[in-house]
Structure 1
Amino acid sequence: MIDDTDRAILRVVQANASLSAGAVGRAVGLSQPAAWRRMRRLREAGILAGRELALDLEKLGFGVTVFLGVKLAAKGRVSLEDFERAVAAIPEVRRVDHVLGRFDYRLRVTARDLPDFERVLRRRIMALPGMGEIEANVLLSEERLPGPL
């Protein structure tokens, strides 16, 4: 069970995951050892998991992001695990979400430009096992909501 101090630590770490335990402690009114123990407990409980690095994909030459809704053709013929394993091997697929609704999966695909996306779609994604219906939505802009969860 987490308490208000743990929640305060999570807010601080969520804003900047690279802070030391001493800096986190100062931000929430704890000593470095007390903050370190709490952070270790949160990691062991799986609440704090890893550190995420945000890359500016556009500055790296990847100017197009497309969300694909994917409906498998016949769920009985290909296992979900086979599909997930195959789609995870495509480097341009940045995220795979198994969802409820009209589609079985929602993929986030990053490409250099639209011709590059078309190449990935035709040669890699459409060749996946069990592919059925696909719907594409091109990302026009993205706003990250600031603040903790």
Structure 2
Amino acid sequence: MLDDTDRRILRQFQAAPEAASAVLAERAGVTPSTLARRLAAMRAKGVLRGVRGQVHWPSLGYEVEVSLRVQLDKTAPRAFDEFIAGARAVPEVTEVQTFLGSVDLRLAVIARDMAHYQQVYREKLLVLPHISDIEALMHVAMVKSDETVPL
């Protein structure tokens, strides 16, 4: 699917997505027009899904981050759909993942402080439908966070 040139371009793009096209092209060993054409083709194929800004939550006053492991009452036919729809509507929920196994879902939740987290937990999360069990894991430190793909 991808050739060596595409991989070189993606390595450089992952390393510095904010870099100017001319700089990325030079680092990847291609012309700017080749870079533009290849990036457009990778976007069209769905290899590149966009560029996003990464926000440092504590800089905005969100000091608490919690992972919630959720088990659902799966006897309800639409348990997953209804829970996920509710979780998506909670602004403090930054991520929803589904799993196979004893844990059905994981929610990433941010809050300004513990009092705010307690309010979000009680008023917005515990009222979500079909919860049979929920476990909170308090984040202590981010040891590694890397979304780049080894190419």
Q: TM-score range by the shorter chain?
A: over 0.9
3-state secondary structure, aligned to 1:58: helix
**Identity across aligned pairs (percent)?**
32
Which residue number corresponds to residue 85 of structure 2? 85
Contact 1:68 1:106 in 2 (8 A): yes
Are residues 1:114 and 2:84 paired?
no
Q: Can you give the 5+ residue segments of structure 1 that lack an aligned partner in the other structure?
A: none
The RMSD of aligned alpha carbons is 1.6
**Contact 2:69/2:103 (<8 A) preserved:** yes
Q: How much does 1:80 deviate?
A: 1.6
Deviates more, 1:80-89 or 1:36-45: 80-89
Residue number in structure 1 paired with 2:39: 39
Count of aligned pairs between the two proteins? 149
2:123 aligned with 1:123: yes
Which SS does the other structure have where 2:57 is aligned?
A: coil
1:52 is displaced (CA, Å) by 2.0
Whole-Å separation in 1 of the counterparts to 2:100 and 2:38: 36
Structure 1 residues 9 and 62, CA gap change in structure 2 (3 angstroms): same
> In 2, Cα distance between the equivalents of 1:112 and 1:126?
19
User: How much has 1:147 moved relative to structure 2?
Assistant: 8.6
Contact 1:93-1:108 within 8 A present in 2 as well: yes
Per the alignment, residue 71 of structure 1 pairs with: 71
- State how far apart, in whole Å, the 2-side matches of 1:28 and 1:139 are: 37
What's the TM-score once normalised by structure 1's chain length? Answer: 0.93
How high is the TM-score relative to the length of structure 2?
A: 0.91
